[in-house]
C-alpha cells in the first residue's frame, strides 16, 4: 500500500502557506494604515479629549489579552481555517464600522471587540504555517512572514497619511476594512479545508499522555521559559518603542522626526535582511540563535545609554535591536511549533503571543518610572542583564525541547523494532 504524501509536502500546502503569508502582509498594511491616526481620530471624531484618547489603545490591548488564549484554543478545536475567516470578518466589520462612529463609549467597545478577533488571527495563522511547513523550513517561512509584516508597517502609515490628507481620519478605517477583507478573500481562495494530516496511530501514546487545553501550557516548562524570557524582551523593547522619544529627548536634542526615521530604518532593515538572515542561519542550533538574538537586542538597548554622544550611537543601537529581533522572532515561532503537542499548535502560538501583551502592559509604564527613578542611562543599561536572562531562558527551553524530542524518537524506534521483531 502506497504511503500518502504528507500535507506539508503537497502543492496545496505550499499554496496555502503562500496565501497565509500574503494575508499576513496585507492585514499588516491595514493595521499600519490605522494605528498612527487612532488617537487623532479619537480627538476629532470620537470626543476623547487629551490623554483619554489613549483609552482606545488600552481597549484594543484588553481585547487582545482577553481573546488571545481563547482564540488559540478555538482554532485547535474548530479548525484554523474557520477561526481565521471568522476573525477576519470580525476585524473587518469592527474596524470598518469606526468610520461611522462618533461616540466615545461606542468607539471603545468596538475597539475592544475588534481586539478580541485580532487576538485569534495572528496565532492561528502562525500555527497553520507551522502545520503546513516542513520542520526544516519553518524558521525561513516565519522570517518571510515577519518581513511581510514589517513591509506593512512601512506602507500602511503612508497609505493612511494619503487618505487623511485627501479625505478624513474616519476614512482610514474604510481602507483598513478593505485590506482585511482582501486578506479574508486570499484565505478562502488558498487555504484547504483540511489544514493538516495527523497520524493518530503513530502518535497515540503521546496524544493520550498530553494534558488537554490550557493545562498543557501550565505544565510545559519549555513554554513557560519562552513566555517568561519573551516577556522580559518585550518589556525592555517597549522602553524604546513606546518611551524612546520622551526619554531620549531628555538625554539629547532628539526630535520626533529623528525618532520616526529610526523606526523606519528598523522596519526597512528587517524587510531587506530578514529573509537572508533566516536562510543563512537555517541549520544552526535554534537555542543558540535565540540566545544571540536576545543578547543583540539587549546590547542595542544598552547602547542607548550613550545617546547623548550623538545620533550615530542611536543608529547603531537600532541596527543591533533589529538584527536581534530578526534572529529571535522567527526562531521563537518555529520552536513553539516544534514543541506544541499535536492539535495544540494554535494554543501554543497564542500563549507565546501574550509576550507582546506583557510588553504592551508593562513596558511603557516601567520605562517611564525607571527613567524618572534611576535615570535614563541606568534604565537602558538595565536592559542588558534582563536580556541575558531572557537569552538563558530561551536557550534552556530549546535544549529541553531537543532532549525531549530525542527521547520521543527513541520510543518510536523501539516501537518500530518491536513491530519488526513481532
d(CA 2, CA 8): 17
d(CA 37, CA 59): 16
- pTM listed for this prediction: 0.78
Q: Where in the chain is the domain with CATH 1.20.1250.20?
A: 19-190, 212-421
pLDDT for the residue 164: 85
Q: Which three cell numbers stand for residue 145?
A: 512572514
Taking only the tens place, the pLDDT of each residue in 155-187 is 888 888 888 888 888 899 999 999 999 999 999
**261 versus 360: which is more confidently predicted?**
261
pLDDT for the residue 405: 52
- Of 145, 201, 140, 151, give the one whose Cα is nearest residue 334: 140
Average per-residue pLDDT in the chain? 82
8 A C-beta contact, residue 132 and residue 17: yes
422 pLDDT above the threshold of 70: no
Q: Which three cell numbers stand for residue 399?
A: 535544549
Average pLDDT (4-25) is 77
DSSP string, 281-324: TTTS-HHHHHHHHHHHHHHHHHHGGGGGG-HHHHHHHHHHHHHH
Average pLDDT (313-335) is 95
Taking only the tens place, the pLDDT of each residue in 110-149 is 999 998 898 889 888 988 998 888 888 899 899 999 898 8
pLDDT for the residue 197: 41
Average pLDDT (354-362) is 80
pLDDT for the residue 416: 33
8 A C-beta contact, residue 239 and residue 247: yes
Taking only the tens place, the pLDDT of each residue in 41-90 is 887 777 777 666 667 777 877 788 777 767 777 877 888 888 899 999 99
The answer regarding whether domain 19-190 maps to CATH 1.20.1250.20 reads: yes
Taking only the tens place, the pLDDT of each residue in 180-211 is 999 999 999 998 775 444 443 334 333 333 34
Chain Cα centroid distance, residue 57: 17
Is residue 342 classed as helix, strand or coil in its secondary structure?
Answer: coil
pLDDT for the residue 288: 95
Q: 212-421, what's its fold?
A: Growth Hormone; Chain: A; (1.20.1250)
Q: Which three cell numbers stand for residue 395?
A: 536557550
Taking only the tens place, the pLDDT of each residue in 406-415 is 444 444 334 3
Provide the phi-psi class of 375: left if phi over 0, else alpha when psi is between -120 and 50, else beta: left
Is residue 131 classed as helix, strand or coil in its secondary structure?
Answer: helix
8 A C-beta contact, residue 173 and residue 52: no
403 pLDDT above the threshold of 50: yes
Amino acid at each position: 500500500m502506497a504511503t500518502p504524501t504528507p500535507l506539508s509536502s503537497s502543492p496545496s500546502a505550499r499554496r496555502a502557506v503562500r496565501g497565509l503569508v500574503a494575508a499576513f502582509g496585507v492585514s499588516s498594511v491595514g493595521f499600519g494604515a490605522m494605528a498612527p491616526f487612532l488617537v487623532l481620530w479619537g480627538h476629532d471624531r470620537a470626543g476623547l479629549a487629551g490623554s483619554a484618547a489613549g483609552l482606545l489603545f488600552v481597549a484594543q490591548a484588553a481585547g487582545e489579552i482577553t481573546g488571545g488564549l481563547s482564540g488559540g484554543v478555538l482554532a485547535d478545536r474548530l479548525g484554523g481555517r474557520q477561526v481565521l475567516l471568522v476573525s477576519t470578518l470580525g476585524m473587518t466589520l469592527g474596524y470598518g464600522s469606526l468610520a461611522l462612529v462618533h461616540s466615545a463609549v461606542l468607539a471603545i467597545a468596538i475597539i475592544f471587540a475588534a481586539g478580541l478577533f485580532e487576538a485569534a488571527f495572528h496565532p492561528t495563522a502562525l500555527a497553520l504555517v507551522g502545520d503546513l511547513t516542513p520542520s526544516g523550513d519553518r524558521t525561513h517561512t516565519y522570517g518571510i512572514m515577519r518581513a511581510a509584516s514589517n513591509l506593512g508597517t512601512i506602507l500602511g502609515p503612508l497609505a493612511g497619511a494619503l487618505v487623511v490628507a485627501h479625505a478624513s481620519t474616519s476614512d482610514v478605517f474604510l481602507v483598513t476594512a478593505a485590506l482585511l477583507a482582501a486578506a479574508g478573500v486570499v484565505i478562502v481562495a488558498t487555504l484547504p479545508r483540511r489544514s493538516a494530516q495527523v497520524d493518530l496511530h503513530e502518535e497515540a501514546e503521546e496524544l493520550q499522555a498530553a494534558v488537554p487545553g490550557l493545562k498543557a501550557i501550565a505544565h510545559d516548562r519549555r513554554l513557560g521559559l519562552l513566555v517568561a524570557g519573551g516577556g522580559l524582551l518585550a518589556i525592555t523593547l517597549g522602553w524604546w518603542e513606546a518611551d524612546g522619544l520622551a526619554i531620549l529627548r531628555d538625554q539629547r536634542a532628539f526630535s520626533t522626526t529623528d525618532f520616526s526615521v529610526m523606526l523606519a530604518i528598523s522596519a526597512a532593515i528587517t524587510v531587506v535582511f530578514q529573509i537572508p538572515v533566516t536562510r543563512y542561519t537555517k541549520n544552526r542550533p535554534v537555542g543558540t540563535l535565540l540566545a544571540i538574538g536576545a543578547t543583540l537586542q539587549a546590547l542595542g538597548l544598552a547602547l542607548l545609554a550613550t545617546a547623548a554622544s550623538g545620533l550615530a550611537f542611536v543608529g547603531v543601537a537600532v541596527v543591533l535591536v533589529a538584527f536581534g529581533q530578526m534572529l529571535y522572532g522567527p526562531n521563537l515561532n518555529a520552536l513553539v511549533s516544534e514543541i506544541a503537542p499535536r492539535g495544540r499548535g494554535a494554543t501554543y502560538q497564542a500563549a507565546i503571543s501574550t509576550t507582546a501583551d506583557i510588553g504592551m502592559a508593562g513596558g511603557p509604564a516601567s520605562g517611564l518610572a525607571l527613567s524618572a527613578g534611576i535615570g535614563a542611562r541606568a534604565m537602558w543599561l538595565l536592559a542588558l542583564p534582563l536580556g541575558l536572562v531572557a537569552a538563558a531562558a530561551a536557550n534552556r527551553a530549546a535544549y529541553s525541547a531537543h532532549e525531549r524530542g530525542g527521547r520521543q524518537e527513541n520510543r518510536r524506534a523501539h516501537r518500530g523494532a518491536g513491530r519488526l521483531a513481532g
